[in-house]
Amino acid sequence: MADDKKLTTRAADFSAWYNEVVLRAELADYAPVRGCMVIRPNGYGIWERMQRILDDMFKATGHVNAYFPLLIPQSYLAREAQHVEGFAPELAVVTHGGGKELEEPVVIRPTSETIIYSMYAKWVQSYRDLPILINQWANVVRWEMRTRLFLRTLEFLWQEGHTAHATHDEAEEETRRILGIYRTFMEQYMAMPVITGLKSESEKFAGALRTYACEALMQDNKALQAGTSHNLGQNFSRVFDLRFQSVEGREEFAWNTSWGVSTRMVGGLVMTHGDDKGLQVPPRLAPIEVVIVPIFRSDDERAAVLGAAHRLRDELGSWELPENRRRRIHVDAREGMKPGAKYYDWELRGVPLRLEIGPRDLAASQCVAVRRDTGAKVPLPMADLAAALPALLEQMQRDLLDAARARRDANTVRGPITWDAFRARMDGPGGFVYAGWCGAAACEAAVKEETKATIRCLPDPEFQSTPAPATCLKCGASSRHEAVWAKAY
């Protein structure tokens, strides 16, 4: 930062810009242990909004919350071969407790499949006990080599849903239902457009039958996996002896699903909507939707302006209002800071709408509304605010999604593409490339080796191209799947 008032621009250094936004908007800070972070109130407030909205969506589809322990016997992880292979390198293992070495080490959960399905096995006798639709909000630890604030930290917060069903089809339906919820959340609340689809074998969750994911494109044209939903088949139920008696009286293994989204989404939010002025939080997700900046000179003006500001907040933000009509409003009454400095500060923090109220506005019974996204200023009569604010905020919510979608589409390539053109694309601008794939793991690996690009997903039908690609991007053989390729976080 040459000028420490200004952010590094995205164009100059996207990584530096990201770090500066996270730190200076006070979303998070580095903790003493490598790879760990403190989520500060501004960041946690966004996560709390995410939690509330998703939690409501889960509850509305029949799920309930529970809590399973942080510590898991090491032997549990080892029972499912693929699973242990996938997670062994990144486990944090507790070897001592109470000053003594433990007989069997316990691991800090990297995810909870093993402990949860072992418990389900105790609880399920017959098909009448199914389905089990449990979610938990928890922290998990994965000892990653390279970390980044929100995007990859040793410890992160997430929700993990774990369900058990009587049939494969029911489990598949659940897996897809959750993927749909994630997509709706990301598009309608985060204003972050995503592609949904199936993960390739090499990218799927260790222990899953198949993994579906939501993939978003960040402003640096790298993809971010924002949520995953796994059909686990009977892989875990066989290992943990999760059986039930069917209607026909047979003993059968249950069919499981698991699915999760994490605080990584906060990073996705920053990299989707942030600009060179700082963060932008979509209104539906913003802990503060509207900030009122009072403007005054004399003590008399100060009293009048602050009085009006607080009255507005009390009227439109009262806890007595139903939540859908209650505006989340903050009055910035800080002393000794000029209004201009406050504008920059709230723009950095990403508050969607600013209301300026000064003596001239009071005289005209109005205030000046300024949009964070466009910078557009419009005078609003005080009497109309209750109706005007929700309309304005919803308009911004739509505009943010439209802008993000337009940006993604402008950085997406479809249609026949030569290998050289693909390489040039990945060496240069990046972005999503839809291309054919013969289905061979060797081709997938070769593409990754030579370009760093990976298959983000085999897109769901609504995202697929017409006509479908005819040949494999790498080997030229006939294509079996259309794949979305990109460099990824």
Partner RNA sequence: CGGGACGUAGCGCAGUCCGGUAGCGCACCUGAAUGGGGUUCAGGGGGUCGCGGGUUCGAAUCCCGCCGUCCCGACCA
Which C-beta is closer to RNA: that of 88 or that of 102? 88
CB of 12 to RNA, least distance (A): 13
Q: Which is nearer to RNA, 285 or 348 (CB)?
A: 348
Q: Quick one: which of 82, 247, 62 has its CA closest to 163?
A: 62
Q: Residue type at 177?
A: R
Nearest approach, Cβ of residue 333 and RNA (Å): 9
Tokens 């006990």 correspond to: 129
E-assigned strands of 98-154?
100-108, 132-141
Please name the residue ranges forming H helices in 319-461: 339-349, 359-364, 385-410, 419-427, 441-451
In the bound state with RNA, the residue whose beta carbon lies nearer, of 91 and 191, is 91
Residues 329 and 317: beta-carbon distance below 8 Å: yes
Note whether 457 and 225 are within 8 A (CB): no
Residue 4 DSSP SS3: coil
User: Is residue 58 classed as helix, strand or coil in its secondary structure?
Assistant: helix
Three-state DSSP class for residue 419 = helix
How many angstroms separate the Cα of 55 from the Cα of each of 51, 62, 94? 6, 11, 31
Residue 267 CB, nearest approach to RNA (Å)? 8
Closer residue to RNA in complex, CB, 87/120: 87
Closer residue to RNA in complex, CB, 106/208: 208
Indicate the residue among 176 and 487 with the shorter CB distance to RNA: 487
> In the bound complex, what is the minimum distance in angstroms from residue 359's beta carbon to RNA?
5
Least distance to RNA, CB of residue 280, Å = 13
For residue 167, the one-letter residue type is: T
172 or 347, CB closer to RNA?
347
Which residues share a beta bridge with 133? 163
Crossing angle of the two packed helices 264-273 and 385-410, in degrees rounded to 10 = 90
- Considering the complex, what minimum distance in angstroms separates the CB of residue 366 from RNA? 9
Contact positions toward RNA, by CB under 7 A?
A: 1, 4-6, 15, 19, 30, 33-35, 86, 89-90, 142, 144-148, 151-154, 156, 205, 213, 225-226, 228, 260, 262-264, 277, 295-297, 302, 335-341, 343-345, 347-348, 356-361, 367-368, 370, 375, 452, 488-489
Q: Give the tokens for residue 317.
A: 């933000």
* Least distance between RNA and beta carbon 277 (Å): 7
